[in-house]
């Protein structure tokens, strides 16, 4: 099978690509990625020489470039991960999110429709987020069938893309799958997201910014568990179906960051990391709580999360401690500029 992975040089993408390249030598894994600030070829360096792996740099919204690539290696499956993925950046600059998440997705759908006429043995797999379902109160879960209610520019753009995927399935018969997952964490995550940002600030003994009172809840999953679920669904998921992926691990932000501080002190022998926690002005429109009931059919297929939260956090902390070069390469001028825009006045009070 020839599997295209869009956004393969990003956080989840690089774990997925490594998993596919190593476990399916008979498949050809082809990555297309624009290498934005969030994409990093170094993330894929340990598969770079694999005979069943190829990389192309391109913007998925560039129909001419994508058509030329797909004529050269026609896909049997498209795992679509390329996206602008950070909620805070979507609040600063929504347009970029429409370009990649909406126009980029439609560009791929149009090309797939033309390329896959009369083929039913193919699949367009849209990797999406639980944020499309909006915000929960203290009770309840997102389940299959929960109505979409996106509330940030990021989640609105992902919801639009999901709806287009379903519309192509319904209108043109395009075989598709969608999965909506909660908050991923693990090695190689860009340090704009809560967990890697906290770890880097712990390493650099800088204040750890927590929005509001830290009472918002996110449902966390180790990235490799998400990757195993995607693989399972690619091979055995029902076409035309939307799956929820979650490890049933909802936690308050303050509890996540406090646990990270404790584990960091245990691992490194540092002291009093909890004192770095700093409450700052809240994210505008901050969704209160996410919690996922994983799809029954995914569980019937035998998928279960394998990495406990403490073990995942430990592995993640150790990975950042062991990879100072990776950190130095991503903490560029662009990152410092973003950090100042996002946190400068918040932290100065
Ligand atoms: P990421 O930001 O780490 O990586 C995104 C990748 O897409 C980068 O490599 C970037 O270079 C690439 N990209 C961006 N714009 C592009 C374009 N126009 N053309 C080609 N490539 C482009 O994101 P991630 O956290 O790995 O998320 C991957 C996917 O999973 C996204 O679709 C996201 O919405 C979804 N998702 C993420 C999470 C999470 O917690 N991170 C949870 C659920 C779903
Ligand atoms: O739920 C899935 C989504 O999870 C994915 O679709 C997104 O791509 C991914 O970015 C993530 O979105 P969140 O907004 O939940 O992730 P983030 O790491 O930015 O924030 C997690 C929580 O921590 C959220 O409630 C906001 C809070 N937070 C975040 C940052 C960066 C802080 O309190 N301080 C911070 O500095």
Local confidence band at 333 (pLDDT 50, 70, 90 cut-offs) = confident
Q: To the nearest 10°, report the CA torsion of 156, 94, 331, 79.
A: 40
pLDDT at 118: 84
Annotated catalytic residue 154: yes
Q: How far is the CA of 87 from the centre of ligand 2 (A)?
A: 7
pLDDT digits (tens, 9 = 90+) for 209-242: 999 999 999 999 999 999 999 999 999 999 999 9
Q: Does any ligand 2 atom lie closer than 6 A to the CB of residue 129?
A: yes
Tokens of 86: 């950070």
Nearest atom in ligand 2 to 194's CA: 18
Annotated catalytic residue 243: no
What three-state secondary structure class fits 203?
Answer: helix
Q: How far is the CA of 82 from the centre of ligand 1 (A)?
A: 5
Tokens of 162: 């999901």
Would you say 195 and 171 are in contact if contact means Cβ atoms under 8 Å apart? no
Tokens of 72: 């050269």
pLDDT digits (tens, 9 = 90+) for 288-324: 999 999 999 999 999 999 999 999 999 999 999 999 9
Question: Which bound ligand lies closest to the C-alpha atom of 226?
Answer: 1
Compute CA distances 91 → 87, 162, 336, whole Å. Answer: 6, 20, 18
Would you say 82 and 139 are in contact if contact means Cβ atoms under 8 Å apart? no
**Domains of the chain (ranges plus CATH)?**
2-185+221-245 (3.40.50.720)
Annotated catalytic residue 222: no
Q: How far is the CA of 190 from the centre of ligand 2 (A)?
A: 12
């Amino acid at each position: 099978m020839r599997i295209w992975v869009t956004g393969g040089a990003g956080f989840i993408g690089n774990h997925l690509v490594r998993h596919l390249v190593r476990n399916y030598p008979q498949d050809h894994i082809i990555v297309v990625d624009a290498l934005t600030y969030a994409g990093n070829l170094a993330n894929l360096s340990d598969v770079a020489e694999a005979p069943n792996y190829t990389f192309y740099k391109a913007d998925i919204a560039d129909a001419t470039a994508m058509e030329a690539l797909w004529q050269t290696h026609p896909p049997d499956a498209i795992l679509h991960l390329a996206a602008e993925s950070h909620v805070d950046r979507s609040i600063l600059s929504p347009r970029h999110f429409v370009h990649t998440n909406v126009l980029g997705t439609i560009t791929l759908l149009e090309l797939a429709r033309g390329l896959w006429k009369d083929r039913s043995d193919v699949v367009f797999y849209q990797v999406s987020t639980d944020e499309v379902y909006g915000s929960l109160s203290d009770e309840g879960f997102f389940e299959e069938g929960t109505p979409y209610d996106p509330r940030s520019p990021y989640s609105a753009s992902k919801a639009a893309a999901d709806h287009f995927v379903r519309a192509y399935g319904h209108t043109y018969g395009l075989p598709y799958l969608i999965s909506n997952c909660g908050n991923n964490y693990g090695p190689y995550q860009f340090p704009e997201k809560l967990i890697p940002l906290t770890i880097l600030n712990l390493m650099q003994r800088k204040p750890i910014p927590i929005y509001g009172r830290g009472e918002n809840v996110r449902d966390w999953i180790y990235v490799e568990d998400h990757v195993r679920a995607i693989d399972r669904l690619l091979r055995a998921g029902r076409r035309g179906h939307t799956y929820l992926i979650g490890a049933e691990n909802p936690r308050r932000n303050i509890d996540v960051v406090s646990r990270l501080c404790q584990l960091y002190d245990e691992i490194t022998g540092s002291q009093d990391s909890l004192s770095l926690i700093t409450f700052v002005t809240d994210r505008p429109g901050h969704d209160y709580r996410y919690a996922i009931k994983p799809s029954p059919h995914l569980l019937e297929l035998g998928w279960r999360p394998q990495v406990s939260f403490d073990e995942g956090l430990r592995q993640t902390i150790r990975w950042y401690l062991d990879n100072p070069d990776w950190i130095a390469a991503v903490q560029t001028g662009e990152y410092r500029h973003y950090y100042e825009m996002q946190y400068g006045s918040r932290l100065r009070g």
